[in-house]
Amino acid sequence: MSRVVLVLVEAVNDYLPLLEQAGFELIRAPTPASRAEAIAAHGERIDAVLTRGPLGLYAAEIAALPRLKIICVIGAGYEHVDLQAASNRSISVTNGAGANAPTVADHAMALLLALVRSIPQADASVRRGEWLKPMCPTLEGKRLGIVGLGAVGLAIARRAANGFDMSVSYHNRQPRPDVPYTYRASARELAAAVDFLIVAAPGGDATHHLVDHRVLEALGPQGYLINIGRASVVDTAALVAALTEGRIAGAGLDVFDEEPRVPDALKRLSNVVLTPHIAGQSPQAAQDTVQLVVLNLQAFFSGQPLLTPVRLPAPQ
């Protein structure tokens, strides 16, 4: 009997046949309407759910899936998956930690380069026939700070240190003795010590508005912020104010609080570069992400240890 997987994601469609080739039956429901319809029509058959952190899986949905045994999240974040509801039912949860780290790190550096070197503005000036030549900072030898030194943060650090000869500092839940980078005890302390601050932390209560007005003040009027982690890590209102008032030099953002809606206040600013949550997207990343889901599902249903388990709270 094939296992039934409810697929809520929309970004890896070309690689979903990897799941079917592994013997899984897929029910695809990438929109809110189809999601509700699929749960209502097939809830009693569904063994697993494939989702993303922003899409999540909520307690009421988990309750409507009596056969559900495992939730697989693509990407590292799982902020809208109800871990308590999963734990109460002894449902396993996995994530895609590390699967798309190289692609996200590439995009973080691309945003930083585009922002600091004014690439969008220069491109626009050429197209308008203006031939403007702004004087822009260089990246070599600058000080980079990374909030969240997981797989993505480490990939960014390697690119910055080895490719641009930057000094790298980081703030994490705890110091990492296995890295050559400088640990800072708080996000504010980190911001005060760097020229560029890249947010690579997951969402959730523990990181909500970790980068607030105090951190932005510490980053200062010559500092730049990049966020390829989760929008909730940065206080958007404080960021808009800091950008508008020149209290930081600029920001590159791939994530937003209410995607796909982006605040008009951000769109109007000339010192920001905006991309539509594409940092983790590439053919290789999508394939590696789905392949990791396949391996986790195969391990789970054969009684083997999960490759990337998410730690769950104690049942209540």
**Structural domain of residue 21, as residue ranges?**
4-97+283-301
Known catalytic membership, residue 107: no
What 3-state class would DSSP assign to 229? coil
Tens digits of pLDDT across the chain (316 residues): 689 999 999 888 899 999 999 999 999 999 999 999 999 999 999 999 999 988 999 999 999 999 999 999 998 888 899 999 999 999 999 999 889 999 999 999 999 999 999 999 999 999 999 998 989 999 999 999 999 999 999 999 999 999 999 999 999 999 999 999 999 999 999 999 999 999 999 888 899 999 999 999 999 999 999 999 999 999 999 999 999 999 999 999 999 999 989 999 999 999 999 999 999 999 999 999 999 999 999 999 999 999 999 999 999 9
CA angle 167-237-106, nearest 5°?
35
Q: Is 61 a catalytic residue?
A: no
What pLDDT is recorded for position 77?
Answer: 84
86 and 131 in a single domain? The answer is no
How far, in Å, CA of 229 to CA of 261, rounded? 17
Residue 1 is predicted with a pLDDT of: 62
pLDDT at position 109: 98
Give me the catalytic one of 20, 130, 259, 268: 259
Please give the pLDDT value at position 54. Answer: 86
Number of domains in the chain: 2
pTM of the complete model: 0.90
Does 50 map to a domain?
yes
- Beta-bridged to residue 183, according to DSSP, are 170
- HSE of 212 in the Cβ direction (CA atoms, 13 Å)? 6
**Dihedral in degrees, nearest 10, Cα atoms 175, 181, 185, 190:** -150
Catalytic one of 89, 158, 247, 277: 277
The domain that holds 86 is classified in CATH as 3.40.50.720
Same domain, 48 and 177: no
- The answer to whether residues 10 and 40 belong to one domain is yes
Q: Which of 230, 245, 247, 311 is catalytic?
A: 230
206 and 193 share a domain? yes
Same domain, 140 and 269: yes
10 Å CB burial of residue 117 (0-12, 13-18, 19+) is: middle
Q: Residues for the chain: how many in total?
A: 316
Catalytic, 25? Answer no
- Cβ atoms of 196 and 224 within 8 Å: the answer is yes
